[in-house]
A = this chain, B = another copy of it.
Amino acid sequence: MAQKPSIPKGSRDFSPVEMARRNYIFNTIREVFALFGYRQIETPAMENLSTLMGKYGEEGDKLLFKILNSGEWLRGLEGKDPGEGSARLTSAVSEKGLRYDLTVPFARFVVQHRGEIQFPFRRFQIQPVWRADRPQKGRYREFYQCDADVVGSGSLYNEVELLQMIDEVFARLRVNVAIKLNNRKVLAGIAEVIGAPDKIVDITVAIDKLDKIGMEAVNAELAERGLSAESIAALAPILAIGGTTQERLAQLGELLKDSETGSLGVRELEFVCARSSELGLRAPLDLDVSLARGLNYYTGCIIEVKALDVEIGSITGGGRYDNLTGVFGMPGVSGVGISFGADRIYDVLNALDLYPDSTQRATTVMFTNFGDKEAAASLRLIKELRGAGVAAELYPDAAKMKKQMAYANALSIPYVAIIGESELQAGTVTLKNMESGEQQTLPASAVVEALKK
């Protein structure tokens, strides 16, 4: 009868130790968001499929988890030809899906609640998303996103602020990062000045691989994608710009001076870099003209963050988009946002062991249990300790001392308080420091003070 319990592939349980570590990351991000005036929202796990479908491309539609209609779902298939195939018949048995990211639900939220929202709307959202991707190392079917966006303001100060937030979060987490910056208008300008304005997608897909495959292979791919030899030759000096960010911006400005869009992109980058450096970011800000994430989506600045001490790819990304809400009937709302990849950041902190000691433990002191009389005295003291904000617990059973101590040890509880018969008579408590092994006997009235710091 008994089932061997398991969970769906690609999903995870989080133990108390893992939760403490994850909460440390989430709390850090949440605190920084709040410090910058961002305000939290939540949206439901399930959205109507009409909200989700068609927003993530054909591949994305397939990766949505769909909810089987409740009740007589088979009726939806009556009169349908199974030959139409699973994909086409899905809408006959399912009208809801699990959210795939936080961006589309946010766009839906903004349009649905437009009358109640104060614009510019600085919102943050920390919730899980679900994707029916093939699970593999570091890729899960349920994972958290931590998004901050400002909508209803085209000001570049928002970009500056988002860079400060990224910098602050990783400084607090003690992760060394580099922030890469680009601008979609620069990419459009590049395509324009090399005489291939309609090839912007091909160009960006190819040059995005520059780091990995090198210039020669990129050029071969560009040729394969139909770029002329002249265009490829014209692209080379643009990819070869070097020096400091300021120098690179100057070179880029010169190279793109004949493209209005490209020049505007360069000026935007100049503004964002200048303001950010005046304010003093701790992380280096790298201008990278090959950066292109989510091209069909971003319209201005593009941001990507890499950890310097662990090979793991992008751990945060974002950018400006100009028509997030158009598909829901509210055109012309500009926005800019970033998304922290909490699960990858978790992997980075695990790899570098960057958790503060406080995330390793929960309870400060465990009281041993020798029976009802001793337990009653312990509970009175535990109540006082909790009143003073000290997490305390009684071992619930009068088990063997060895078992009780092993429990405290396994949970990394730093202090064990012992009220046995002699302590009970003397009105004292024996307090054992579990790390040093030191033991001292105190008046019961002194225990709260001793553990309060």
Q: Which residue of B lies closest to A157 (CB)?
A: B396
Q: Are A109 and B67 in contact (CB under 8 A)?
A: no
Q: Are A82 and B77 in contact (CB under 8 A)?
A: yes
Q: Are A393 and B37 in contact (CB under 8 A)?
A: yes
In the complex, chain B residues whose CB is within 8 Å of the CB of A37: 362-363, 366, 391-393
Q: Are B96 and A8 in contact (CB under 8 A)?
A: yes
A16-B45 contact given A89-B74, A111-B5, CB 8 Å threshold:
no
In the complex, chain B residues whose CB is within 8 Å of the CB of A376: 275, 278
Q: Are B86 and A74 in contact (CB under 8 A)?
A: yes
Range of interface residues on chain A?
35 or more
- Is residue A244 within 8 Å, beta carbon to beta carbon, of the partner chain? no
In the complex, chain B residues whose CB is within 8 Å of the CB of A12: 44
> Pick the contact of A16 from B78, B123, B141 — CB < 8 Å?
B123
In the complex, chain B residues whose CB is within 8 Å of the CB of A85: 72, 74
Q: Are A329 and B142 in contact (CB under 8 A)?
A: no
How distant is the Cα of A221 from the Cα of B75 in the complex, in angstroms? 39
- Is residue A296 within 8 Å, beta carbon to beta carbon, of the partner chain? no
Q: Which residue of B lies closest to A116 (CB)?
A: B15
- Is residue A20 within 8 Å, beta carbon to beta carbon, of the partner chain? yes
Q: Are A51 and B396 in contact (CB under 8 A)?
A: no
Q: Are A68 and B46 in contact (CB under 8 A)?
A: no
- Is residue A50 within 8 Å, beta carbon to beta carbon, of the partner chain? yes
> Pick the contact of A391 from B34, B93, B369, B411 — CB < 8 Å?
B34
Q: Are B389 and A2 in contact (CB under 8 A)?
A: no
- Is residue A297 within 8 Å, beta carbon to beta carbon, of the partner chain? no
Q: Which residue of B lies closest to A140 (CB)?
A: B44
- Is residue A56 within 8 Å, beta carbon to beta carbon, of the partner chain? no
How distant is the Cα of A375 from the Cα of B278 in the complex, in angstroms? 12
Q: Are A379 and B7 in contact (CB under 8 A)?
A: no
How distant is the Cα of A383 from the Cα of B40 in the complex, in angstroms? 21
**Contact digits for A48-83, partner B, Cβ 8 Å, 1 yes 0 no:** 101100000000001101111011111101100010
Q: Are A132 and B164 in contact (CB under 8 A)?
A: no
- Is residue A23 within 8 Å, beta carbon to beta carbon, of the partner chain? yes
How distant is the Cα of A411 from the Cα of B121 in the complex, in angstroms? 10
Q: Are B113 and A13 in contact (CB under 8 A)?
A: yes
In the complex, chain B residues whose CB is within 8 Å of the CB of A90: 68, 73
Chain A residues packing against B (C-beta within 8 Å): 1-8, 11-16, 19-20, 23, 34-48, 50-51, 62-63, 65-68, 70-75, 77-78, 82, 85-86, 89-90, 93-96, 98, 108-109, 111-113, 116, 118, 120, 122-123, 128, 130, 132, 141-142, 150, 153-155, 157-158, 160-161, 164, 168, 275, 278-280, 326-329, 362-363, 366, 369, 375-376, 379-380, 383, 386, 389-397, 407, 410-411
Which 4 pairs of residues, A with B, have the shortest CB-CB distance?
Answer: A37-B393, A2-B329, A16-B39, A11-B44
| A to B CB contacts below 8 Å, 18 in the list | A2-B327, A3-B51, A3-B329, A5-B111, A7-B46, A8-B46, A13-B41, A13-B109, A35-B386, A36-B393, A45-B130, A46-B142, A68-B93, A73-B86, A77-B77, A120-B397, A158-B396, A161-B396
